[in-house]
């Protein structure tokens, strides 16, 4: 499970029209979790284990997660401005 999104610019100064965002780690308490997300240029870059174009960390309130935890985290991420327009892939 991952998200596909369009990045206007990466840390390398180029756009990534089919960026691939994947949760790499999450941990937390009964109230909040921290989620780490690795974003690759595209899915092929991820599959080839190439460097990320961005890495994010987010805090999410556990009460905002509904259902299975991983799909629920992705649903919450899609509500953040950094992932505007992201779709499941």
Phi/psi zone of residue 13: left (φ > 0), alpha (ψ -120 to 50 degrees), beta? left
Q: Is the pLDDT of residue 21 over 90?
A: yes
In the chain, the percentage of residues whose pLDDT exceeds 70 is: 100
Q: What's the confidence (pLDDT) of residue 50?
A: 94
What's residue 13's pLDDT?
87
Are 17 and 6 in contact by the 8 Å Cβ rule? The answer is yes
The 8 Å CB, 24+ separation contacts for 77-82 are 77/3, 77/21, 77/35, 77/37, 78/3, 82/56
Q: In angstroms, rounded to a whole number, what is the distance separating the alpha carbons of residues 8 and 10?
A: 7
* pTM for this prediction: 0.91
Beta strands at 54-61 and 3-7: parallel, antiparallel or unpaired: unpaired
């Amino acid at each position: 499970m991952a998200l596909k999104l369009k990045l206007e610019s990466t840390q390398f100064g180029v756009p990534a029209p089919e960026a691939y965002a994947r949760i790499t780690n999450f941990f937390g308490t009964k109230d909040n979790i921290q989620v780490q997300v690795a974003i690759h240029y595209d899915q092929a870059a991820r599959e080839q284990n190439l460097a990320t174009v961005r890495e994010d960390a987010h805090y999410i309130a556990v009460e905002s997660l509904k259902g299975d935890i991983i799909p629920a985290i992705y649903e919450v991420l899609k509500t953040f401005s950094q992932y505007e327009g992201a779709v499941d892939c």
